[in-house]
């Protein structure tokens, strides 16, 4: 690993001061300021208002009024679609600025951040198309005198809470679909990576979204998020983050029986059979483990290898992983950037130490890296991992790959399913029957076959068990932000009434 010189772009960069968006007005809020230190450079790059309960309540009141009285829910689908398309064009036009903010605030490589912005713009365009396609049902088979119509109506005010690992991409998996349905929203980005979401607020105003439809409140979960998940004027909560906070979100929302959508953690296996295309798999294994420094809910953090190929495959994965470039997030050639906070780096290290003490071997890495910038972790491979070890069952959320082995297909399926998560999985074999067997029996929301971490706006994403509730993306995504209403209509005089005359 070679240290990178601190880039001039950071030396010349002046920390940007942001404000919150409430009812169409940019405001400092009632609290103090939060400073964000770039994890890859160790300098302050952003300052946001530390939102308070009062700020969250004002934002919810604005969203409530905009839904109950404003034009957004009453527009045609085509009108909302046109505004979302304008937003998508502006996102594409401002992609470099948005990617730069995500890069310096999260520590992800700039090339990756730009790729995510391209995907985000596509999601906004897809949601715009769905705004025109949302429809109900009709039933004319209920008898001559009866007609049934099922309407889909916007659910109301939606609280959207997003994490730090994909700041712009994840808000784009939620917000445009809520807007397409006609909902109004309060958005709370992570207090570590709020910059690009606040810039999105500027984009939406420019695109023509009315005041109060999108409100953005920065701050912490206990201060702001707790209000957004418990307030009686909020009709739905859409949350992405850790499973622990997801449980708390669900408990908070239960107080007023809100609808809840949760996209949570994962401990995702890649199951590899001896007949697999190992060249393709090795590349996917390294990508799946170290993309976004492993700070990714669908990272391929568990390799479940057939015992006959385990030694060869582990050695080949380690050989390629040694070539992964770790360093300055603003360097276009960097593949693995910085870890989000010093505390999280320490947590990752504790999992590696714990695995070694439990009997696993460190086949690669295992330590933090001092590159003269922020905080970095070496790509790590742990071999000899047993299914009952913490590193095999719990989400490390870092560049740590655990290698387990199996003898039979049934054993591989048991290992894959023997955890609390079920977000995604991969299977590698030239035998389609083998792939389909794994795909049917592994309990995960997505199963990739001879690929890993592919995706598209058209494909739903979400998990089983403690990986969450509901799905994002796909052609049903807008429906998640609606309620159904039945209109049962009778024509003519009612006959056969059971009361005596």
pLDDT tens, position by position, 415-466: 999 999 999 999 999 999 999 999 999 999 999 999 999 989 999 999 999 9
Q: Which tokens belong to 322?
A: 């040694």
* Integer Cα distance of 107 and 103 in angstroms: 5
Could you tell me how far CA 385 lies from the centroid of its own chain? 28
Phi and psi at 362, nearest 5°, equal -85, 105
Contact 378, 399 (CB under 8 A): yes
The sign of the dihedral angle between the CA atoms of 334, 336, 339, 340 is positive
Q: Which tokens belong to 358?
A: 């439990």
Contact 56, 186 (CB under 8 A): yes
Could you tell me how far CA 139 lies from the centroid of its own chain? 38
The predicted model scores a pTM of 0.95
Residues designated as active site? 263, 297
Q: Which tokens belong to 377?
A: 């972790």
Residue 181 CB neighbour total at 10 angstroms: 27
Q: For the segment 340-356, what is each residue's pLDDT rounded down to a tens digit?
A: 999 999 999 999 999 99
Q: For the segment 272-306, what is each residue's pLDDT rounded down to a tens digit?
A: 999 999 999 999 999 999 999 999 999 999 999 99
Q: Among residues of the chain, what percentage have pLDDT more than 70? A: 96
Could you tell me which residues are beta bridge partners of residue 383?
Answer: 361
């Amino acid at each position: 690993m070679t240290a990178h010189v601190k880039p001039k772009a950071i030396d010349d960069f002046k920390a940007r001061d942001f404000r919150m968006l409430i009812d169409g007005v940019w405001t400092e809020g009632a609290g103090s300021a939060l400073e964000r230190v770039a994890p890859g450079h160790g300098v302050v790059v952003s300052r946001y208002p530390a939102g308070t309960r009062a700020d969250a309540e004002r934002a919810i009141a604005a969203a409530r009024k905009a839904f109950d009285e404003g034009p957004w829910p009453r527009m045609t689908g085509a009108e909302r679609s046109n505004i979302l398309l304008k937003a998508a064009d502006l996102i594409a036009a401002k992609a470099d600025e948005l990617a730069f903010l995500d890069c310096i605030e999260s520590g992800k490589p700039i090339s990756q951040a730009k790729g995510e912005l391209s995907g985000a713009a596509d999601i906004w365009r897809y949601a715009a198309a769905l705004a025109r396609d949302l429809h109900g049902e009709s039933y004319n088979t209920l008898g001559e005198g009866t007609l049934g119509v099922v309407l889909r109506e916007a659910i109301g005010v939606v609280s959207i809470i997003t994490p730090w690992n994909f700041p712009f991409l994840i808000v784009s998996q939620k917000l445009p679909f809520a807007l397409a349905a006609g909902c109004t929203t309060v958005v709370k980005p992570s207090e570590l990576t709020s910059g690009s979401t606040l810039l999105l607020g500027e984009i939406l105003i420019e695109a023509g979204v009315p005041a109060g439809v999108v409100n953005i409140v920065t701050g912490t979960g206990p201060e702001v998020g707790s209000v957004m998940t418990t307030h009686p004027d909020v009709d739905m909560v859409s949350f992405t983050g850790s499973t622990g906070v997801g449980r708390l979100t669900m408990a908070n929302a239960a107080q007023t029986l809100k609808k809840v959508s949760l996209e949570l953690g994962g401990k995702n296996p890649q199951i590899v059979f001896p007949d697999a295309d190992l060249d393709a798999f090795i590349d996917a294994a390294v990508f799946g483990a170290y993309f976004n420094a492993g700070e990714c809910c669908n990272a391929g953090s568990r390799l479940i290898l057939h015992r006959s190929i385990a030694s060869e495959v582990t050695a080949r994965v380690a050989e390629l992983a040694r070539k992964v470039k770790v360093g300055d997030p603003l360097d276009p050639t960097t593949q693995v950037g910085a870890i989000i906070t010093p505390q999280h780096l320490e947590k990752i290290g504790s999992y590696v130490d714990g695995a070694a003490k439990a009997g696993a071997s460190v086949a690669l890495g295992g330590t933090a890296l001092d590159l003269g910038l922020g905080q970095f972790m070496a790509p790590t491979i742990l071999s000899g991992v047993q299914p009952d070890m913490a590193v095999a069952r719990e989400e490390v959320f870092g560049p740590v790959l655990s290698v387990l082995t199996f003898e039979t297909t049934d054993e591989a399926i048991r290992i894959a399913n023997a955890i609390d998560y079920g977000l995604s999985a991969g299977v590698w074999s030239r035998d389609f029957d083998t792939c389909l067997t794994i795909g049917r029996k592994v309990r995960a929301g997505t199963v990739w076959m001879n690929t890993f971490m592919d995706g598209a706006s058209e494909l739903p994403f979400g998990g089983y068990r403690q990986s969450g509730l509901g799905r994002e993306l796909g052609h049903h995504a807008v429906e998640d932000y609606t309620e159904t209403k039945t209109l049962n209509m009778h024509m003519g005089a009612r006959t056969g009434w059971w009361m005596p005359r």
